[in-house]
Amino acid sequence: MRSKPPSKSAPAADSAATAAPSDRWNPDGGVQFLSVPAELAGQRIDNFLQARLKGVPRSRVYRILRKGEVRVNKGRVKAEYKLQAGDVVRVPPVRSPAQAPAPVVGDQLRKLVEESILYDERGLLVVNKPAGLAVHGGSGVRLGLIEVLRQMFPQSPFIELVHRLDRDTSGAIMVARKRAVLLHVQAELRAGRVGKSYLALAAGKWPRGHRVVEAPLRKNTLKSGERMVSVNPEGKPSETRFRVLERFRGATLMAAEPVTGRTHQIRVHAQFIGCPLAGDPKYAPDEVNREFRARGLKRLFLHSQRVSCTLPDGDQVEVEAPLPAELQAVLQALRDG
């Protein structure tokens, strides 16, 4: 059952601190009062707090909720309470584990991402992600695309990934700047109504007749900590549609449309057919990658060429990301023989 929203009124003075409502939590201050912008309406209070209390264990977040240290419009709420626009959230001072300061985005990376923005309207952002840039920090990566965007748009209270791309993959990726857009497009993704099309260069001659690959995929973690994916009968159902665009000597340019969205799906399905993607450090043999390096390929040849979806108002959006110059050069070298 949904918690009853507390009545909205100005926060009373607090013995630890008094403050006008804002939308930013200051971890170095005392009690803070945060106003909820319209973009975050509908978010659960526990998730709202978790996003702001960086490094604080989730169990601690639930504890301060249970004890009533967190108040919404001066009233106690349960973890499942869904915030409304204009709510005022009282956040107590909470010590988080010592952390290194967040890395600052350099001018060069900021400019690169800024120039890669393809679409920014009605709460949806589409970026032509450069290869080599992770979508978010973690696992040894301190700075990803989402962190760069949040520093570029500090006035935006909500910036979240709609879906993901592998670090080595370039191309169109969708980012929501409104919670309603995030929830809507992700629901469309689950229903299979979001279009995603990739350009991929497969090593060897793609066998005729293999237009759809249906092979279950299972994640594996090696002793080194590296994450690999393999075709396994006990894995999750996975389907990719392939279409031959151009054939070269020793390679095939493919259009790939993932029906499901498993980790490394296109890469592993191509390997399963016997034509791993050129430049793939995980799933292509070293000798294959050496051959393509000699032809000028220095990265995985996989590019998210196009994304399409409907927005909450029903309008259709389709955005295409141009193929990077370094991949265009590889194709030209193959055409020249």
**Residue 236 has what DSSP assignment?**
B
pLDDT band at 101 (very low <50, low <70, confident <90, very high): low
Closest CA to 47 of 22, 93, 83, 23: 83
DSSP-derived 3-state class of residue 239: strand
DSSP-derived 3-state class of residue 30: coil
Which residue is catalytic, options 46, 87, 166, 280?
Answer: 166
Determine which of 152-161, 179-188, 217-226, 255-264 has the lowest per-residue pLDDT on average. Answer: 217-226
Distance, CA of 197 to CA of 195 (rounded, Å):
7
Distance, CA of 82 to CA of 45 (rounded, Å):
6
The answer to whether 326 and 292 are in contact (CB under 8 A) is: no
DSSP-derived 3-state class of residue 267: helix
The answer to whether 264 and 283 are in contact (CB under 8 A) is: yes
Mean pLDDT of 265-271: 98
Domain boundaries, the chain: 32-91, 107-335
The answer to whether 12 and 92 are in contact (CB under 8 A) is: no
Encoded tokens for 284: 């292509």
> Going by C-beta distance under 8 Å and a sequence separation of 6 or more, which residues neighbour residue 114?
152
Active site residue 166: yes
pTM exceeds cut of 0.85: no
Give kind and range of the element (H or E) at residue 146: helix 145-152
- For 316, phi then psi, to 5°, come to -90, 135
**Residue 3 has what DSSP assignment?**
P
What angle in degrees, to the nearest 10, is found between the helix axes of 145-152 and 107-115? 90
The model's pLDDT over 161-196, given as tens digits with 9 standing for 90+, comes to: 999 999 999 999 999 999 899 999 999 999 999 999
Encoded tokens for 243: 């279409």
The reported pLDDT for the residue numbered 254 is: 98
CATH topology of domain 32-91: 3.10.290
**Residue 6 has what DSSP assignment?**
P
Class level of CATH domain 107-335: alpha beta
The residues with which 123 forms a beta bridge, in sequence order, are none
* Alpha carbon of residue 139 to chain centroid: 15
Determine which of 206-210, 238-242, 284-288, 307-311 has the lowest per-residue pLDDT on average. Answer: 206-210
Does residue 121 register a pLDDT over 60?
yes
